[in-house]
Structure 1
Amino acid sequence: MNKIFRTSCITRVGTSFCNYSTNTSSNYCLDLVKRFDYENFMAVLLLKNTSRSTALAVRSFNVELSRVTEQTSQVSTGQARLQFWDDTIEACFNTDVKKIPQHPVALEIYKAVNRSKLSKRYFKNLIKCRYDYLNRNFFITLDEMEKYSENTVSNLYYLILEGCGMLDAQSELVASHLGKAQGILNLLRGCIIARKLNFISIPQELLVKHKVSDQSILNGVSSQKLNSCVSEVAGRAYEHLQKARHLSDKLPDNCAPVFLPAVTIDGYLTKLQVVNYDIFHPSLKRKPLLWLPKLIWYKYRNKY
């Protein structure tokens, strides 16, 4: 594992790049987020200058963490890759630039940390949660699913808010609720690749309650009973979305653009309701045509 990342040529499962100096680290992060996190990519583009650069660094870091689970089948390999990122964060908060791995995401994180004085604990929370679930393939309760969502998504918003110089008690509360809503929906959407991930994201307490088998999710089989499970999970996401929006008038000026992903969260919840919470419905895979104009309209109105 110690030879996976090198200065002259960095190679990962599914992604490789040599002679990295020919492309800037910022462009690499831009392309990474665009490819693997398109919805958040569109929202990040509407941020300004250094805020956008910090947000892209944070989002690209999250892409790298999330892909550890997708690309590794052995726990030990996943642990080694997460350890690399844990060591990288330690290095980014060290004053010795020579200790920063020559990886474009690491370089952008280092610049963001020094530019915006980001907090180490938020990065650590992101890594620890992924590490804790490497050997897990289900949630027991909806509360556990919510907590995981907070750890893996809300912490991203805390970092982005710090990068914008807007993290206070109210914006942190909005970020907490919105992160839970987005994280829960991300997990729900993962049902379509449950077999690939070997992870059942719908909590076991709901599957037992509605008499739905794990195998039906792995096989991608729709049913009214499964729809009922999805409806309960989506309901929890909707509650947090509404709480985040109800606090909008208490936020610092110009803070709303950070929370523009709320627009896409709301859009997906609406589409899910239209198909009666059939998580495998083909229409849920299509991107909305007026996505970007809607985001721009919300930004213009200072809403989310």
Structure 2
Amino acid sequence: MIIRYTSRGIAQRNAKSIPSQLGNQIRFASTTEVPKTTGPTDPATSVRTLVEQVDRSSILASKFYPSHLQKHFLAIRAFNAEVARVPELVDNELMARIRVTWWRDAVQGAFNGKTPRHPTMIALSEAIHDPNVQKYGGLVEDHFVAMCEARESDLSAPTTPPTLEEIESYAEKTSSRLFYLSLNLLGVSKTVIDQVFSHLGKARGLTQLLNSVPFHAGVIRTTIPTPPDAQTQEGVKPKPRSGPAKPRQRRIVLPREYLSKHNVVEEEVYRKGAEAKGLRDAVFDTATRANDYIISARSLLKDEFNGGKVPQALIGPLVEATTATTMLQELQKRDFDIFDTKLMTVASGKGWRLPWNMWKVGISGKL
């Protein structure tokens, strides 16, 4: 196992400053906001601005990384946000595919020393070619490519609900790959640690799916206007939006097996929301599946580390998993009513719950 340990107490020192800096908002991939400005020209500042707008949980988690790696962590998250928000910026599937292909080619070019002149890609290239990161193996190109391929396949999602296998495969190619890239940054290389964060990636993917149910069902929780003079960072002006973002097609995204098991009728969900027959049971089964992955991850950590307390080098990735555990806790408190508008408030970190949970994990080193 190769672990680059940070200076003693770095997570604790970072954690102490968190309460005054947290309490903002994250967006999940399916409900990603369109940035309100074109962003500054400085790559590092541009990346941070983008992540602050669309993925606030990553801003919170970045505080638990060594200071010299924080900008690289945010560059990775910015790349993920850029690819995830493609469907929000263009309505045409062909154009969306072209856009995702551009990002895949861009990251491959960055690994080959041919970085496009784009703020996110310039910042990501710095992470890729940082000697301090490369010394411990460096970032793995395949993780970025897999993320792009998963997002592209999602552009032509069928109208029928996905199977549990399809959902977990997607989570492995997106959420788990982000965890792997965090491990790459920290110089961590061991099979059992990969297994831990594969489990946590699936758990996070399942909870993100749960959070996106109202969006895909056509129940919009937030209004995200697009300023008339806004541009994407690729220089392409998005389609003006006077109201909230809408799904490409209305559908129920819970696992097909659970919907069938509890006789959930889609049209009834559209009309009755959480009161639709069997819906809470299907949500419960999905949440239980996510929690099972968290339990498995905890078990592996206890076997690998005495009592499950991870070394300082793993604090950052472990803190990232707190979004999943927080979402599951809040969902249970609300009797698995996935349409409860307070869920987004809590899970997004807008209040105190998510920042507090992150701080506790950062201090204890335990999930």
Moved more, 293-302 or 269-278: 293-302
Q: CA deviation at 1:171?
A: 1.6
The amino acid that maps onto 1:209 is K
Which of 56, 60, 66 is matched with 1:38 structurally? 56
Displaced runs of 4+ in structure 1, greater than 3 A? 13-18, 137-140, 215-220
Within the alignment, does 1:177 sit opposite 2:240 as a pair? no
* Per-residue deviation, residues 197-235 of structure 1 (Å, max 9, x unmatched): 225321223222222233344557112511111111111
C-alpha contact 2:93 2:156 (8 A) present in aligned 1: yes
CA distance in structure 2 between the aligned counterparts of 1:70 and 1:215, rounded to whole angstroms: 25
Q: In the alignment, is the contact (CA less than 8 A) between 1:212 and 1:226 conserved in 2?
A: yes
The 3 A distance-change label for structure 1 pair 289 and 111 is same
The 3 A distance-change label for structure 1 pair 49 and 172 is same
In the TM superposition, what are the counterparts of 1:265-304 in structure 2 within 5 Å? Answer: 265-287=324-346, 288-304=351-367
Partner SS state of residue 222, structure 1: helix
Counterpart selection for 1:94 from 105, 112, 133: 112
Aligned with residue 110 of structure 1, among 125, 130, 134: 125
Kindly indicate whether the alpha-carbon contact (under 8 Å) linking 1:100 and 1:110 is maintained by their aligned counterparts in 2.
yes
Query: What secondary structure sits across from 1:239 in the alignment?
Result: helix
Contact 2:262 2:279 in 1 (8 A): yes
Separation (CA, whole Å) in 2 of partners of 1:52 and 1:221: 40
**Which of 260, 264, 273 in structure 2 is aligned with 1:221?**
273
1:130 equivalent in alignment to 2:130: no
**1:46 and 1:296 in contact (8 A); partners too:** no
TM-score, normalised to structure 1, is 0.87
| SS in structure 1 at match of 2:321 | helix
Identity %: 26
Say yes or no: does 1:234 pair with 2:282: no
TM-score (norm 2): 0.73
1:253 matched to 2:305? The reply is no
The gaps in structure 2 that reach 5 residues or longer are 1-32, 219-245
Q: Are residues 1:189 and 2:211 paired?
A: yes
Q: Distance in 2 between matches of 1:220 and 1:92?
A: 48
Q: CA deviation at 1:253?
A: 2.5
Within 2, Cα distance between the matches of 1:32 and 1:23? Answer: 12
Q: Map Cα deviations across residues 263-300 of structure 1 (whole Å, 9 max, x no partner).
A: 23212111111111110012212234243243223212
Moved more, 143-152 or 44-53: 44-53
- Structure 2 counterpart of 1:253, which letter? P
More relative contact order, 1 or 2 (CA 8 Å, 6+ apart) = 2
Which deviates more, 120-129 or 264-273? Answer: 264-273
Query: How many Å separate the matches in 2 of 1:91 and 1:222?
Result: 46
Tell me how far apart the structure 1 counterparts of residues 110 and 268 of structure 2 sit (CA, whole Å). Answer: 44
Report the CA distance shift for 1:17/1:256 in structure 2 as closer, same or farther (over 3 A): closer
Structure 1 residues 293 and 210: alpha-carbon distance in aligned structure 2, compared to 1, 3 A threshold:
closer
| Pairing 1:209–2:267 present | no
Alpha-carbon distance change, 168 to 208 in structure 1, aligned in 2, over 3 angstroms: same
Equivalent residue for 2:321? 262
Q: Does 2:209 align with 1:146? A: no
Q: Deviations over 1:41-81 (max 9, x none)?
A: 21122211233222111111111111113333221011011
User: Is the Cα contact below 8 Å between 1:139 and 1:200 reproduced in 2?
Assistant: yes
Tell me the distance in 2 between the aligned counterparts of 1:133 and 1:298: 33
The offset of 1:14, in angstroms, is 4.2
Flag the 1:70–1:208 CA change in 2: closer, same or farther, 3 A.
farther
